[in-house]
Amino acid sequence: MRSDQMKKGLERTPHRALFKALSYTDEELNRPIIGIANSASEVIPGHNHLKDLAAAVKAGVRMAGGTPMEFNTIGVCDGIAMGHKGMKYSLPSRELIADSVEIMGTAYPIDGLVCICDCDKIVPGMLMAMLRLNVPAILVSGGPMLAGCSKKVDIDLITAFEGVAAHASKKISDKDLKEIENESCPGSGSCSGMFTANSMNCLSEALGLGLPGNGTIPAVMAKRIRLGKVGGMKIMELVAKDIKPRDIATQKAFENAITVEMALGSSTNTVLHLPAIANEAGIKLDLSLFNEISEKTPNLCRISPAGTHHMQDLDLAGGIPAVMSELNKKKLIHTSILTVTGRTVKENLHDVQNLDEEVIRPIDSPYTKDGGLSILFGNIAPDGAVVKKAAVDDSMLTYEGPARVFDSEEDAMKAIMGGKIKKGDVVVIRYEGPKGGPGMREMLSPTSAIVGEGLDKDVALITDGRFSGGTRGAAIGHISPEAQEGGVIAIIKEGDKIQIDIPNKSLKLMVDDKEIEERFKKWEQPDFKVKEGYLYRYAKQVTSASTGAIFKV
């Protein structure tokens, strides 16, 4: 066993003495040691119940003959960090999470690993660590929050964000806004739509690194606790068979994940995280692959913010197995590959049925014949930009308008809330990329404000920053190269015409090449906005959004 390095032999007498100070017996130390990486905390709704889930996982490990040893990681709630300096730390926290699990899993040479997590950057950070360590591992998420309800209509966190602008424009009352505040987030779990956290938990199933149900079983269900126990038992099977994450998360597995992503119309942030996760396995996911898969993958689901359904509805419809079963009817997924169940995808999908064709459209009657995300290219984004096409109104799929240029999210918000953005505008927010931000903040506040002002069918937004999985409308992010690195977005001027053509995957600044060249002769790269602490180190190390914002090697 790998853990013998720290517990076997006479020379490890001091090590065993220290473990016995922790109350471990000889019998426990003789068993396989399973690291339990838990992101539980009291500052994130998706994490405040993870102690109970960890207890279930540990019970499963013990039932199967292992010894669990729990440790913790940090976590940032993107919703609470939104709109202030805290959001600059959200994406950078992903690297710290991966690093911390790597450190613990190496300093304590564990035999297996269970990652217990929820929420936006914690899930991909854990998946990165699993592939980096490459010891038998499984991801057990805390599950989604239930949707809230106001005036007999399902609501969620995005309702609260959009409600702020709706209130500012006198569309709803003080009482209405307070009711939304009180009812939109009814309890534990990751926010209830197909936002980043739930998207990544769903894709962990498609990758084969999470058990069926991992992405959709609501946090408050006993079924979630049972899943934790099964996860604890399954890790012991993986250890016994020496099945490692890189045996599971192969090129074909990532192609399955992208296919499921397109069928779900999931968060644009998955385009940031999947390449970073794949990188840990030595796999390069070029952004053009997303478009290739999108072109042949129908969009089957419209979960909030793209539609009115929520994660609990997707779970009742059969969850990710039912989505994959529909896709398999057209042979769009690889079924011979292994998963953490110890079985192949084909075996996992045996007898799986779509239980609600309103939530998961049949493969022959999809919302659209292509996927829910698109990668756009053009002179503004030669290395790519991403849009959640499934959440864009048909009238905005092709669009041209004058640029309204802002060098920060705060400046853009002032203009939107001040009524200075008009129908037909294209809001440009730059110097918010991985380096320029630094930290590539989510733009949920400005996109929600645009929706709340009733302009989501009349105004587009482009940025080298990124968006929440809860964003809807013609919001195009991840523009690469970013402004800080001399991308064309840096020299866009107020009033320049910008052309958006989502069906043809195109994003163009309608200025000739000679004029662009002349503008760059006058452009000077600005200094980093932050010059101390972790953000400064991050800005100097991080690469482009088109590479997953991974660190330089």
Give me the active site residues, please: 468
Contact 470/305 with Cβ under 8 angstroms?
Answer: yes
3-state helix, strand, coil in the chain (%, to 5): 45, 15, 40
Residue 153 burial (CB < 10 Å; 0-12/13-18/19+)?
A: exposed
Which of 24, 7, 67, 2 is CA-nearest to residue 235? Answer: 67
Query: Dihedrals φ, ψ of 376, to 5°?
Result: -105, 145
For 21, the enclosing helix (H) or strand (E) is: helix 13-21
According to DSSP H, which parts of 367-425 are helical? 409-417
Secondary structure of residue 371 in the 3-state scheme: coil
Q: Would you give the DSSP letter of residue 210?
A: B
Complete edge-to-edge strand list for the sheet that includes strand 384-387: 374-376, 384-387, 475-480, 460-463, 426-429, 398-406, 497-501, 506-509
Q: What is the DSSP string of 269-335?
A: THHHHHHHHHHHTT----HHHHHHHHHH--B---BTTSSSB-HHHHHHTTHHHHHHHHHHTTT-S--
How far is 160 from 178, CA to CA, in rounded Å? 9
Which of 60, 38, 235 is CA-nearest to residue 119? Answer: 38
Residue 77 burial (CB < 10 Å; 0-12/13-18/19+)?
A: buried
Secondary structure of residue 385 in the 3-state scheme: strand
Which of 469, 433, 425 is CA-nearest to residue 450? Answer: 425
Query: Dihedrals φ, ψ of 357, to 5°?
Result: -80, -5
How far is 334 from 249, CA to CA, in rounded Å? 12
Pairing of β 475-480 and β 497-501? unpaired
Q: What is the DSSP string of 425-458?
A: -EEEE-S-STTTTTS--B-HHHHHHHHHTT-TTT
Contact 294/388 with Cβ under 8 angstroms?
Answer: no
